[in-house]
């Protein structure tokens, strides 16, 4: 049409990946527009620019985790001589605005950055009209038609609700609602065993709410199962109630606003009912591809997941349309992954680069009450790939020094290095459960990219007294059957 505008690049989705990509592209002097629009959650929550991580993901999650850890520290402090009053309690009404204020400053920061980089920002929902044209529906309902040489789809995903469970979507909430909820959650049921479920149940417990977690099978599918078990065991010992092998059947709301949840045990079929103030679903996320009119552009999605299928340069089935971040099939759903992929893509499109995103050895941390940091392969996966007789696992149970004086339970403080048995024993997977797991694993992940071997790991001098030093001192193999408990 005659009033349509032309761009070098249009990015749909202003989250971690989309913002990184549009800012980088604009640095090459390209004409770039980024569209970001937040569809309100079923409960009506919506937010500003920056996507999941900033508004309803990593940032508020980590802050609430920190609030929970502080509660623990206050209790520990008594053992270190601090005179702490007996009746300490959390004010949710103070926590939420503190978290939301930081988010608003990040929303603003992203707007300013786009402006400074001369990226055009439209608070608009995008969908394809044809392979080179999109329709942008602005907040006030006005429509615009925009054309571009290249497109990047970075629309991320949203929490899933179980449609087969009556009342779930109507009365339940998700992580999209929790961090901005004005009302304290009170007695809460978390449903699911994804990292989001465990993290939320963990900090809610730590903040002093009566919290139950319902899981139908295993905790943290996709992660190393020995580590996942330890992480959930710690939570169970730490006040989170686990309803194992159970699935929700229905959620009803009474006239006082309380939620009556009916669930059943999967093995016996036995039915249960109990009342909660909040029911939080964290049973996985669906990509936001259904509203994009991808058929009109010819972009293919994965049959089951509806995520976008991309090649190793994030190119979709249409050569000038790319996809990055959570919306991309078979890639880790993590903010730094989306950011890196977006930046490298812009460098290839406009900066003559040929550097591809490397999705291998991406480190991550689960911020449960006892944190779990990991990089590389799980033990199961390593055995799968190489065979049990080709793998050596070094491991250790240890007690963090900071746990000793307050007499904290350290039963689940554990780590292991999954190595190949050949030569210098390359480390293919590193797993750490303990305080500041993310801080510990970040450095070792750099070492792994440099080809870390068991030999170089164990010839590294430790930093005393730390938990991370145990990583370089591991010497007991699983195969030996010897006790891996670190003493003294
Ligand atoms: P998003 O950040 O989701 O951004 C997509 C944007 O596109 C959104 O703003 C969306 O509203 C918008 N959009 C969708 N459709 C359209 C459309 N048609 N038109 C215009 N705009 C549209 N990752 C970590 O690395 N560390 C963590 O600790 C961590 N914690 C998490 C905790 C929680 C509770 C959750 C839910 C996620 C967490 N993640 C974490 C994952 C991380 O948030 C995501 O991997 C990351 O945000 C993905 O970035 P993205 O750019 O792909 O999509
Ligand atoms: P995942 O990893 O897809 O996990 C979803 C979780 O929710 C998992 O524990 C599922 O149990 C559980 N689930 C799924 N459907 C249901 C229903 N209907 N009822 C009860 N429980 C259910 O979640 P995310 O999307 O949060 O994680 C995405 C990625 O991040 C993932 O690839 C990780 O590597 C990191 P199940 O195990 O299927 O029995």
Check residue 32 and give its pLDDT. 98
- Where is 195: in which H helix or E strand? helix 195-206
Residue 461 Cα to chain centre, angstroms: 32
Ligand 2, atom 20: closest residue by C-alpha: 192
Ligand 2 contact via 375 beta carbon (within 6 Å): no
The CA angle 485-226-76, to the nearest 5 degrees, is 60
Give the predicted TM-score (pTM) of the model. 0.97
Residue 33 Cα to chain centre, angstroms: 27
If we measure between CA atoms, which residue out of 421, 387, 407, 410 comes closest to residue 485?
A: 410
Check residue 5 and give its pLDDT. 78
DSSP string, 281-323: E-S-EEES-TTS-HHHHT--B-TTT-PBP--TTSB-SSTTEEE
Check residue 488 and give its pLDDT. 67
CA–centroid distance, 40 to ligand 1, in Å, is 14
- Residue to probe by mutation, ligand 2, list 221, 263, 285, most atoms within 8 Å of CB: 221
What count of Cα atoms within 13 Å lies in the side-chain half-sphere of residue 436?
9
Residue 464 a catalytic site member: yes
Check residue 88 and give its pLDDT. 92
As for ligand 1, residues whose beta carbon falls within 6 Å of it are: 12-18, 35-38, 51-53, 57-58, 61, 125-126, 154-156, 175, 196, 288, 291-292, 325-327, 333-336, 338
Q: Are 253 and 173 in contact (CB under 8 A)?
A: no
Closest ligand to the CA of 11: 1
> What is the 8-class DSSP label of residue 461?
P
Closest ligand to the CA of 110: 1
Q: Are 33 and 68 in contact (CB under 8 A)?
A: no
Alpha-carbon span 335 to 332, nearest angstrom: 9
DSSP string, 3-52: T-EEEEEEEE--SHHHHHHHHHHHHTT--EEEE---PPPTT-----TTHH
Ligand 2, atom 18: closest residue by C-alpha: 162
What b/e sequence results for 22-60 when a residue is b if at least 16 CB atoms lie within 10 Å of its CB, and e otherwise?
bbbbbbeebbbbbbbbbeebbeebebbbbbbbbbbbbbb
CA–centroid distance, 332 to ligand 2, in Å, is 14
Check residue 3 and give its pLDDT. 54
CA–centroid distance, 191 to ligand 2, in Å, is 10
Q: Do the strands 285-287 and 157-159 form a parallel or antiparallel pair, or are they unpaired?
A: antiparallel
Check residue 139 and give its pLDDT. 87
Pick the atom of ligand 1 nearest to 333's CA: 45
- Flag residues of the chain having pLDDT under 70: 1-4, 488
């Amino acid at each position: 049409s005659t009033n349509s505008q032309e761009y070098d690049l249009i990015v749909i989705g202003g989250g971690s990946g989309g913002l990184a990509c549009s800012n980088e592209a604009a640095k090459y002097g390209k004409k770039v527009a980024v569209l970001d629009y937040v569809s309100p959650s079923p409960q009506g929550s919506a937010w500003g620019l920056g996507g999941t991580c900033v508004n309803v993901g990593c940032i508020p999650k980590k802050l609430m985790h920190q609030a929970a850890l502080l509660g623990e520290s206050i209790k520990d402090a008594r053992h270190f001589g601090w005179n702490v009053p007996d009746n300490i309690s959390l004010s949710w009404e103070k926590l939420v605005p503190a978290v939301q204020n930081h988010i608003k400053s990040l929303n603003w920061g992203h707007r300013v950055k786009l402006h400074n980089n001369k990226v055009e920002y439209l608070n608009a929902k995008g969908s394809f009209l044809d392979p080179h044209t999109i329709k942008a529906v602005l907040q006030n309902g006005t429509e615009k038609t925009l054309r571009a040489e290249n497109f990047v789809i970075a629309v991320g995903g949203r929490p899933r609700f179980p449609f087969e469970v009556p009342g779930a979507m109507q009365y339940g909430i998700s992580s999209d609602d929790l961090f901005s909820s004005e009302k304290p959650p009170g007695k809460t049921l978390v449903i699911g065993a994804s990292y989001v479920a465990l993290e939320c149940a963990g900090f809610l417990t730590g903040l002093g709410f009566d919290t139950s977690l319902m899981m139908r099978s295993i905790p943290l599918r996709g992660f190393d199962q020995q580590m996942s078990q330890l992480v959930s065991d710690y939570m169970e010992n730490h006040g989170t109630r686990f309803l194992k092998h159970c699935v929700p059947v229905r959620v009803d709301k009474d006239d006082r606003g309380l939620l009556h949840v009916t669930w059943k045990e999967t093995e016996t079929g036995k039915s249960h009912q109990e009342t909660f103030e909040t029911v939080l679903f964290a049973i996985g996320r669906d990509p936001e591809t259904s509203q994009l009119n991808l058929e009109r552009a010819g972009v293919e999605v994965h049959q089951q997941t509806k995520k976008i299928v991309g090649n190793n340069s994030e190119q979709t089935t249409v050569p000038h349309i790319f996809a990055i971040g959570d919306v991309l099939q078979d890639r880790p759903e993590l903010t730094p992954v989306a950011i890196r992929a977006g930046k490298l893509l812009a460098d290839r499109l406009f900066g003559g680069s040929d550097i591809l995103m490397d999705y291998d050895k991406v480190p991550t941390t689960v911020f449960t009450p006892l944190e779990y940091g990991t990089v590389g392969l799980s033990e199961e996966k390593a055995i799968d790939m190489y065979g049990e007789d080709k793998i050596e696992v070094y491991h250790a149970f240890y007690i963090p020094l900071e746990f000793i004086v307050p007499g904290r339970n350290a039963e689940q403080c554990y780590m292991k290095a999954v190595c190949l048995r050949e030569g210098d024993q390359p480390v293919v997977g590193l797993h750490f459960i303990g305080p500041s797991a993310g801080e510990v694993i970040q450095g070792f992940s750099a070492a792994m990219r440099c080809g870390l071997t068991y030999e170089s790991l164990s010839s590294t001098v430790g930093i005393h007294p730390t938990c991370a030093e145990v990583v370089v001192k591991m010497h007991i193999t699983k195969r030996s059957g010897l006790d891996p408990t670190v003493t003294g």
